[in-house]
Structures are given as C-alpha cells and as structure tokens.
A and B are shown apart, each in its own frame.
Chain A
Amino acid sequence: MSDLAEIISRNEDQIRAEWIRDMSKSTQRADLISKTELDEQCGTLLKAVIAGLRSKDSGNIRSDGWAQAREFLEGISASRARQGFSPTEVATFVLSLKQPLFGVIRHDLAKNQDQLFELLWTATELLDGLALVTTESFSTTREHLILRQQQELLELSTPVVKLWEGVLALPIIGTLDSERTQVVMENLLQTVVSTNSRFAIIDITGVPTVDTLVAQHLLKTITAARLMGAECIISGVRPQIAQTIVHLGINLEDVMTRASLADAFGLALQMSGRAVVRKAVSAAESRGILAGPITKQES
C-alpha cells in the first residue's frame, strides 16, 4: 500500500492536473461548481488518499486511517446532492481519477510487470470503494431531504383550527402513518398550550383506515393531553373504523367519541359550561318577507 502512496505522492501535481482536465471534458458542471473549488477538492482528496494508504490497515477503507477520506467524500457528496448533481456525476468525480493514476503507475513501474499489475488492482479496488462511499452518501442525503420535505408537508396539511374559546379541532385527511401521526399530535398538544384550549376534537372522517400503530398513537396523544389538563374528543369514526378498532381489541373505554364533528363540538361546549341559544326573533323575521317591508313605526 505504501508503494502506491509513494507513487501518488511523487506525481501528485501531474495526477491532479490530468484529473481536472479529464473532468472538464465530461462532467465538470461549471454551472454548479467553479474550477478553483474543483481543484481544491481534488487536492484534498489526493492528500487524504495518500494518508489512508500510509495508515495501518490501509487495505480496509472502513478503517480509522481512511476516516478523513471517507468524511471528505461524504461531505462533498452530500453537498453535491443538495446542489443538484446526479449520482453518476458525483461518482465520476472519484472514478475519473483512475486514468491519470493508472497512467502514472504504468510509467513508474514499466520495468516490473508483476508489481505493476498488483498496484493497478489495488488502485482500482480502492477507487471503486471510494466511489461507492459517495454513492451511498448521496442516497442517504436525498432520503433525508425527502423526509424533511415530507415532514413540512405534513405540518402544513393538518392545521389545527380554533372553533371557539378553549375548543380546538384537528380535521385529519388522508392516511395516517406512524410518523405523520406523531408530528400531527405534537403539533396539536403545542396548540392546546398556546391557545389554552381545554378541548381538542380530533376528527377522523377523512381517514380511510386505522391500524394498531396509529390507534396507539392516538391513544397516547389523548393520554398526554389529559396529563396536561385537556380533553380530547374523537369524531367522525366511520363504521369500518369502529369495526377495525373492536377487532384489534383496542380499548376506547376512557375515550370520548362522537359520530360527527358537530356532535363533538356540541359536547365540548356543553362540558365547558356553555350553550347555544336561539335569540328572540326580530319583528321582521316574525312577519316574513311576504308581509311587505317594515314601516318606520313597526321597526
């Protein structure tokens, strides 16, 4: 391994120059990254590779000696993923190092065919391994981005609505998965505190199915709300969901439920000591419009 390190070290500048030249011919993406930045990155990687080759256990790119190279590659892979490079473009950054490197190895070891072959093999294994590091990292970064966007979508798509002083409603539309339910519930509890609302109606009319995990999250939220001093009412439970709940053996004894959001609202008002009353009918209303316009004396 250290032989390879020596060869690279001796020919560092030449390798770097050729590497950049080859890349500009194909995938430089001048729109996304400047030549100076690229040059810097090539330099850093070469130095990290040399360090890795000189380290203990240099044959294993998962070892500590290669940590610097790995971290560097993970870093630029992540930032390129965010910038909009394709995974191939990112991997090519590493793979295009092969040609200049092989050229230099062949030149330096022209007299020794066996060692030449050995080093070529070592170099190719090494660069393939490093290219895979970038691909994995690229994948992971994209996954994280998607996850974050999903979360933001979740929070936006399930607004908490204030129905009255102290009464909130959370109409949920669409399928509830474990993660979404957690986000939505945390949001609900936070709003309970910020609006000082003793009642929270969770309406699941728009939820097609409920599985055990989601039901558990709902129950946990209700328990948490109760611990805080608020009460939850579940509304919009459709017959299918009622059946699922019973089949799954979920215990809803302690949970208040109502068929419709309106019923749940009525219950919340009642429990908070309020009633909706019909006001006295005005003179115009009691006559109806057929009786003609109101005269000044009557109004």
Chain B
Amino acid sequence: MERIPVLRMGSLLLITIQVDMHDKLALQLQDDVTNRIADWGSRGVLIDISSLEIVDSFIGRMLANIAAMSRVLGAETVVVGMQPAVAITLVELGMSLPGVRTALSVEAGMELLYGAGAGFRTGSDDERAEA
C-alpha cells in the first residue's frame, strides 16, 4: 500500500504531503511518524502541506494528533505552507488546530524549530538597511 514518505534530516523529520489522502493513508502516516521518532530520536517534525488543497476535519485532527503524539515523544511539530483557501475554510469549519505550530514556508518552519541563528533564512534585510 502506498505511504507518505517520511524523510530524515539529522534530528528533523520532513514530510511533504502531495496526494489527496484517504483516511487509511492518514492513519498510516500518524503511525509512521511516531515510530520514526522513537527509532531515530528525532526532535523536530516538519509537515509541508503546501500542495494540499483540502484539509477537512479528519486531516485537521490528524495534524493535531501528530503534533500531540510527537510532543509526548519529545519532538516539536511545525506545519507549513497552508494555502489561504484552506485556512479560510478551516476557520469556517470551526477548527483552530490547537497545539499545532505553523509557519509560512519550510525555511520559516526550520527557523522556528532551530532558531533564527541557524542560518536557514537568506537574509535580504542587510541589503535594505544600508539605503
């Protein structure tokens, strides 16, 4: 059965969801993430949903569950790339995804997890400051 790949980058788990998930696939992902954290001692989980055009209550709960379970296992989760239409719809649905940290992009997510000094952001501030 197909699975959503969970990639490892040091202490980070990187997941990019690009398919329209059916429920079993979502549950499988929850399982895989928790197992990997346990296997590799990961400290961070980054879930990229920039390709997801629909997040319904089931997927929303999956994201909240992953965040909660990961935290219990000692890892922090950041969800990145939520599309505006998806955000607007989630608000209308009444889902606020408590306990789920979010960021606009993968870089921003990395910064959130590892700190601004970790050098993920390409700084354009310096160019402007000298004006």
A: residues with CB less than 8 A from B are 164-165, 185-186, 189-190, 192-193, 196-198, 220, 223-230, 273-274
Classify the secondary structure of A's interface with B: helix
**Shortest distance between the CB of A198 and any CB in chain B (Å):** 6
Question: Could you list 23 A-B pairs, sorted by A, with CB under 8 Å?
Answer: A164-B128, A165-B125, A165-B128, A185-B88, A186-B84, A186-B85, A186-B88, A189-B84, A196-B105, A196-B108, A198-B104, A220-B88, A224-B87, A224-B88, A224-B91, A226-B102, A227-B87, A227-B90, A227-B97, A227-B102, A228-B87, A230-B104, A273-B116
Closest residue of B by beta carbon distance from A185: B88
Closest CB-CB distance, B129 to chain A, in whole Å?
A: 9
If over half of B's interface residues share one DSSP class (helix, strand or loop), that class is named, otherwise mixed; here it is helix
Chain A residue with Cβ nearest B107: A196
Chain A nearest CB, measured from B42 CB (Å): 21
Query: Most B CB atoms within 10 A — which of A165, A186, A229, A274?
Result: A229
Does B82 interact with chain A (Cβ within 8 Å)? yes
Interface size class of B (residues with CB under 8 A): 20 to 34
What residues make up the interface of B, taking CB atoms closer than 8 Å to A?
80, 82-85, 87-88, 90-92, 96-97, 102-105, 108-109, 116, 124-125, 128
A189 touches B88 (CB 8 A): yes
Q: Please measure, in the bound complex, the distance between the C-alpha atom of A120 and the C-alpha atom of B85, giving whole angstroms.
A: 57
Chain A: minimal CB distance from B109 (Å): 8
Closest to B79 in A: A229
Query: A189 touching B87 by the CB < 8 A rule?
Result: yes
The chain A residue with its CB closest to the CB of B103 is A229
- In the bound complex, CA of A227 to CA of B95 (Å): 10
What separation, in Å, do the CA atoms of A11 and B15 have in the docked complex? 74
Contacts of A193 in B (CB 8 A): 83-84, 104
Residues in B with CB closer than 8 Å to A190 are 84
The residue on B at minimum CB distance from A277 is: B129
Please, which residues of chain A bring their CB within 8 A of the CB of B80?
Answer: 229
The smallest C-beta distance from B57 to any residue of chain A, in angstroms, reads 14
Q: A228 — which chain B residues lie within 8 A by C-beta?
A: 82, 84, 87, 102, 104
CA distance A279 to B85 in the complex (A): 43
List chain A residues, Cβ under 8 A from B104. 192-193, 196-198, 228-230
